[in-house]
Structure 1
Amino acid sequence: MNNLVSSLIQGNKRACAKLITLVENELDGYEEVLKEVYKHTGNAYIIGITGPPGAGKSTFTDKLAKTLRQEDKKIGIIAIDPTSPFTKGAILGDRIRMNDLSLDKNVFIRSMGTRGSLGGLSGATQAAIKILDAYGCDYIFIETVGVGQSEVDIVKTADTTVMVMVPGLGDDIQAIKAGVMEIADVFVVNKADKDGAKKTLIEIDMMLDFKKDWDFRPPISLAISENGQGVNDVLNNILSHKKYLHESKEIDNKRLDRNKLEVKEIVHKRIEKLVAQVEAKEDIDTLLNKTITKECDPYTIGQKIFESVVK
């Protein structure tokens, strides 16, 4: 395992792929690997790409990555796709859209299924980011699954969150709904050649006017990712936000908050494993059957499991 970590730090692409698989599947020793890898993180800048399904997030990520590659930047891309609730598999189509990028030796693309995680990200996203950071990536793109207005986990993960919108998604109220609209640091109205693009931009601008005390007011721009039009404007907006974060030292607060949340998630995951062990030992099914006949209730069962875990 130490050999893999050493190879990773030296920029070995195969070692990077193997270690992401290790942590994604939580195989033996994955926590020790992450502890070792963590010492070599903190250099990559993380950009989240989110927005509704069909907004063109994959194409946009592809174009942004290619633009940064012209500046000789090393790029990591984590593309999240929805997992089937029945087969637990995923199509992982985002990678297909970036097929020519995958041939670049300085671009690492990893597709991940959500595997039941809510909020638009895979449960292993944080671990994969650390591995790509240690691998030497300058920028890491996280393209979320595109599940709708509750997809806000990206704000806990990215340094800059880009919201990709498209015209024609709904009425004027759509632009001021809570949730994903509140987490963006940069807005882009993609497919700007379609009717209603400028109207969508104005609606977002009006939404931003509701808040008066911006430290950094999210910029908005139009783009057509298919032909690359407007991609440079979006990249400049991302870099402006990056500059603001570093100059204001807000980047440290963001990353501290991210670490606090990650510690909580680690604790919660360990508690879940203990609960599963208790359920395996106790005859929970028999007790649950008694909830149907009202001989027992869920609160008593929950208390019984809790007490066993605490012991």
Structure 2
Amino acid sequence: MIDVATLVEQARQGRPRAVARLITLVENAAPELREVMAALAPYTGQAYTIGLTGSPGVGKSTSTSALVSAYRRLGKRVGVLAVDPSSPFSGGALLGDRVRMQDHATDPEVFIRSMATRGHLGGLSWAAPQALRVLDAAGCDVILVETVGVGQSEVEIAAQADTTVVLLAPGMGDGIQAAKAGILEIGDLFVVNKADRDGADATARELNHMLGLGEAREPGDWRPPIVKTVAARGEGVDEVVEALEKHRAWLEEHGELAVRRRRRAADEIEAIALAELRARIGDLHGDRHLAGLAERVVAGELDPYGAADELVAGLTRG
């Protein structure tokens, strides 16, 4: 029997084991999940969530680790949600990000969790929104969400983060990929990593040109800055943090932070409701009412849309 109240209280005290157990409950969609979320609700809404996305090989994990170091120097408690590809054998995360963040493994003010996508497209795990709530309630000041890095399906991160950072690297054709993937629209900050390589300046210029070709901005609108870094050496990381803090201030000043968080909550509610409806529909396989509707459709007495309306009406009444 899981004592949810005690577990939540321990997580509020920043105990890593309790935080890990709560996120495991989230990932496993445990029966206690509703009770957990209800207990955490009063303590959420404080953390600043930063999403990091980009193609494989641009240095997302190295950049994330460098940002953790920068925020720790500022005295912030940091949570990291690193979404890894799923193992084809166990379904678990491959843990590549944990290997590259060992520098922070012994820091009690840093919590790092790898989550498997488990086949979910969009670069995130389906459980990510609830996991973010756990880290938020556990007292993290900043939460860094690193996506799986699968390329053009990465745009989902924009719906989960207050600020979205898009990482690129010279010599990878990232400028073209960014335009193809719709990345230009979701990026609040662009980072050209591995800037010690040839072509870094050209990549930044190309990106700046493409941003200039984008939709017209009104005076006072946010224009995504471009920062060059060498994350492996920590170069340019403080400038990234400065740009992130400027964006956060802009979001708060213009009321956009509240708008983004309301949109995020609405998406989360919708996803939970749809999952519940899918579960109920799954229970209907072999159900006599569904079988009867199918017979009427085959006989031409009812069209599929009318049958679906009847089915949904029955589900919502239930």
TM-score after normalising by structure 1: 0.90
- TM-superposed CA distance for 1:17, in Å, is 0.8
| Mapped contact 2:48–2:141 kept (Cα < 8 A) | yes
- TM-superposed CA distance for 1:300, in Å, is 7.1
Structure 1 CA distance for aligned equivalents of residues 112 and 175 of structure 2? 36
Q: CA RMSD in A?
A: 2.5
What are the Cα deviations for residues 74-100 of structure 1, in whole angstroms up to 9, with x where unaligned? 000000011145652331211110012
- TM-superposed CA distance for 1:284, in Å, is 9.5
Partner residue, 2:107: 104
Distance 1:280 1:238, change over 3 A: farther
What are the Cα deviations for residues 60-82 of structure 1, in whole angstroms up to 9, with x where unaligned? 00000111101111000000011
Partner residue, 1:124: 127
- TM-superposed CA distance for 1:212, in Å, is 2.8
Distance 1:212 1:150, change over 3 A: same
- TM-superposed CA distance for 1:180, in Å, is 2.1
Identity, % of aligned positions: 45
Distance 1:229 1:75, change over 3 A: same
Q: Which residues of 2 match residues 152-301 of structure 1 at below 5 A?
A: 152-170=155-173, 173-210=176-213, 211-213=215-217, 215-279=221-285, 281=287
Structure 1 CA distance for aligned equivalents of residues 123 and 95 of structure 2? 14
Structure 2 CA distance for aligned equivalents of residues 242 and 121 of structure 1? 22
Q: 1:15 aligns with which of 10, 13, 18?
A: 18
What are the Cα deviations for residues 42-67 of structure 1, in whole angstroms up to 9, with x where unaligned? 11000001000111000000000111
| Mapped contact 1:175–1:207 kept (Cα < 8 A) | no
Aligned partner of residue 264 in structure 2, secondary structure? helix
Give the gaps of 5 or more residues in structure 2: none
Partner residue, 2:62: 59
| Mapped contact 2:290–2:311 kept (Cα < 8 A) | no
Structure 2 CA distance for aligned equivalents of residues 151 and 10 of structure 1? 33
Q: 1:93 aligns with which of 70, 93, 96?
A: 96
Distance 1:272 1:202, change over 3 A: same
Distance 1:14 1:84, change over 3 A: closer
Structure 2 CA distance for aligned equivalents of residues 68 and 232 of structure 1? 9
1:70 has 2:76 as partner: no
Distance 1:173 1:4, change over 3 A: closer
Distance 1:45 1:3, change over 3 A: same
Structure 2 CA distance for aligned equivalents of residues 296 and 59 of structure 1? 61
Aligned length: 304
The residue identity in structure 1 corresponding to 2:39 is: E
Give the gaps of 5 or more residues in structure 1: 289-294
What are the Cα deviations for residues 130-179 of structure 1, in whole angstroms up to 9, with x where unaligned? 11111000000000011112211111110010001011122864453342
Q: 2:30 aligns with which of 16, 27, 30?
A: 27
| Mapped contact 2:117–2:123 kept (Cα < 8 A) | yes
Distance 1:282 1:107, change over 3 A: farther
Structure 1 CA distance for aligned equivalents of residues 65 and 128 of structure 2? 19
Partner residue, 1:6: 9
Distance 1:114 1:280, change over 3 A: farther
Structure 2 CA distance for aligned equivalents of residues 54 and 144 of structure 1? 13
| Mapped contact 1:151–1:179 kept (Cα < 8 A) | no
| Mapped contact 1:121–1:145 kept (Cα < 8 A) | yes
